[in-house]
C-alpha cells in the first residue's frame, strides 16, 4: 500500500498552536517524512507554498487574523486547476456545516483534534498516494498530447509536401526548375503581410499561391508550349486553365485548398473588369488580386522560352502603370512597399560586405 508514497514528499504544516506543530512534525518524521516545513503564522502560508511547493498541506481551521477558509481561498488562486494539492483540515470543530464549507473551499480530508497518530499517518499516506497517481496520469496525458501534436505536425508537413509537389508537377511542363511557383508563393505572402493581413492568411498565401496554374495540367502541350503567338481559339483554351484549376481544387474541407481554388480561378482577373472572367475590383477575392501581381512580376523578371527577363526597374514601372487598371491599387502599393524594403535590405547587406572587404 505504501510503496507508491514518496517519503521525500514535501509536507507543509500550518497551525497557530506550537504544541500541535511539534507533535505532527514528530509523527511524520518518525515515519520517514523528513521533508516538512511548518508555520504558526497563516500570513506566511502563501509565500511558503510558492517557495516550498508542498505535496500536501495540513491546515488548522481556527487561527487568528486569517483562518483556514481564507487561506484556502487564497491558495485556490495560486494552485493550477489541473494540480491536485491535497489540504487536510485540522480541527476540533466537527460540525457538519463546517466540514461541507471546508470541502467546498478545497479541503480533501479532515483530522480531528486531538490528533490521533495512526489516523494522521494513514490520511497523509492516502492523499500522497493519490497525488502521486494524479501526477502520473497528468504526465501521461502530457506525453499523449505531445504525441498528438507531433503526429499533427507530421500530417501537416505531408499535406504541404503533397501540395508543393502538385504545384511542381504542373509547373514542370513549362518551367522545369519549378521555381516560379515557389517564388510566387513567397512574394504573395509578403504582399499579404504588407497589406496587414493576419498571420494565418499570410501563411495560406505562401502555401496556396504556388498552385495558381495547376489547371495547366489540362492544357494540351501544343498550346501550352507553343513558342509563337496563340490563335484566338488556342487562347480561349489556354484561359480554361483557371476553371480547370478551380475544378481540381474544388470541394475540399481545408482552408489551404479553398484559397488555392480561389486563386486558381481568379489570378487572371483584372481590377478594371477586363480579365478572364470579367470580375472587377473587390469582386475579385483578395487572394486572387495579390497573386495576380506576384505572378506577373515574377513572370516579367524571369526568362521564359518565349521572352527574355525584364530588368526589375522595367517590371516595377509596368506594375505601377497597371495600378488601378490591371491591378488593385492597394495591392500594388503593398507590393511596392515589399520591393522597397527588400531593396533597402539588399543595399544594407552589400554595404556591410563592402565594409568588411575594405
Ligand atoms: Fe495562370
Among 333, 21, 83, 326, residue whose Cα is nearest residue 195: 333
- Give pLDDT, residue 304: 76
Residue showing cell 467546498: 104
Question: Residue 2 pLDDT more than 50?
Answer: no
Quote the ligand 1 centre to 182 CA distance (angstroms). 14
Quote the ligand 1 centre to 264 CA distance (angstroms). 7
Among 17, 135, 122, residue whose Cα is nearest residue 68: 17
Question: What pLDDT digit, counting tens, does each position of 307-329 carry?
Answer: 789 999 999 999 999 999 999 99
Comparing 201-215, 216-230, 267-281, the range with the smallest average pLDDT is 216-230
What is the arithmetic mean of pLDDT over 7-32? 93
Quote the ligand 1 centre to 298 CA distance (angstroms). 12
Cell of 250: 474544388
Quote the ligand 1 centre to 333 CA distance (angstroms). 22
Quote the ligand 1 centre to 254 CA distance (angstroms). 22
Question: What pLDDT digit, counting tens, does each position of 232-285 carry?
Answer: 999 999 999 999 999 999 999 889 999 999 999 999 999 999 999 999 999 999
Cell of 348: 544594407
Quote the ligand 1 centre to 212 CA distance (angstroms). 6
Domains and CATH numbers, the chain: 11-139 (3.40.50.2300), 172-352 (1.10.3210.10)
Question: What pLDDT digit, counting tens, does each position of 51-97 carry?
Answer: 999 999 999 988 888 899 999 998 888 777 778 899 999 988 778 88
Angle formed at CA 125 by CA 123 and CA 126, multiple of 5 degrees: 65
- Give pLDDT, residue 1: 41
Omega cis (within 30) before 114: yes
327, 319 Cβ separation under 8 angstroms: yes
Indicate the average pLDDT of the chain. Answer: 89
Quote the ligand 1 centre to 342 CA distance (angstroms). 25
Quote the ligand 1 centre to 268 CA distance (angstroms). 6
Residues 6+ apart with CB under 8 A from 127: 56, 86, 88, 108, 109
Amino acid at each position: 500500500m505504501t510503496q507508491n508514497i514518496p517519503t521525500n514528499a514535501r509536507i507543509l504544516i500550518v497551525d497557530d498552536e506550537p504544541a500541535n506543530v511539534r507533535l505532527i512534525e514528530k509523527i511524520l518524521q518518525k515515519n520517514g517524512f523528513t521533508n516538512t516545513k511548518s508555520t504558526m503564522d497563516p500570513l506566511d502560508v502563501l509565500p511558503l507554498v510558492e517557495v516550498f511547493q508542498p505535496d500536501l498541506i495540513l491546515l488548522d481551521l481556527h487561527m487568528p487574523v486569517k483562518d483556514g477558509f481564507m487561506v484556502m481561498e487564497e491558495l485556490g488562486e495560486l494552485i493550477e486547476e489541473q494540480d491536485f494539492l491535497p489540504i487536510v483540515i485540522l480541527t476540533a470543530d466537527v460540525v457538519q456545516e463546517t466540514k461541507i464549507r471546508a470541502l467546498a473551499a478545497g479541503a480533501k480530508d479532515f483530522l480531528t483534534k486531538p490528533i490521533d497518530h495512526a489516523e494522521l499517518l494513514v490520511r497523509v499516506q492516502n492523499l500522497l498516494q493519490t497525488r502521486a497517481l494524479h501526477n502520473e496520469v497528468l504526465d501521461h496525458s502530457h506525453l499523449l498530447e505531445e504525441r498528438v501534436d507531433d503526429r499533427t505536425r507530421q500530417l501537416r508537413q505531408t499535406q504541404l509536401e503533397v501540395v508543393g509537389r502538385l504545384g511542381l508537377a504542373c509547373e514542370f511542363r513549362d518551367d522545369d526548375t519549378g521555381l516560379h511557383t515557389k517564388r510566387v508563393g513567397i512574394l504573395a505572402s509578403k504582399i499579404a503581410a504588407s497589406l496587414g493581413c493576419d498571420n494565418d492568411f499570410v501563411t495560406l498565401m505562401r502555401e496556396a499561391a504556388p498552385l495558381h496554374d495547376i489547371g495547366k495540367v489540362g492544357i494540351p502541350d501544343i498550346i501550352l508550349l507553343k513558342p509563337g503567338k496563340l490563335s484566338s481559339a488556342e487562347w480561349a483554351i489556354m484561359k480554361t486553365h483557371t476553371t480547370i484549376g478551380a475544378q481540381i481544387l474544388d470541394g475540399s474541407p481545408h482552408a489551404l485548398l479553398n484559397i488555392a481554388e480561389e486563386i486558381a480561378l481568379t489570378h487572371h482577373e483584372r481590377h478594371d473588369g477586363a480579365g478572364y472572367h470579367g470580375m472587377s475590383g473587390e469582386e475579385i477575392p483578395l487572394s486572387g488580386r495579390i497573386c495576380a501581381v506576384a505572378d506577373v512580376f515574377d513572370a516579367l523578371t524571369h526568362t521564359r522560352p518565349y521572352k527574355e527577363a525584364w530588368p526589375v526597374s522595367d517590371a516595377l514601372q509596368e506594375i505601377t502603370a497597371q495600378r488601378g487598371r490591371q491591378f488593385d491599387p492597394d495591392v500594388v502599393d503593398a507590393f511596392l512597399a515589399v520591393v522597397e524594403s527588400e531593396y533597402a535590405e539588399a543595399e544594407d547587406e552589400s554595404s556591410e560586405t563592402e565594409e568588411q572587404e575594405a
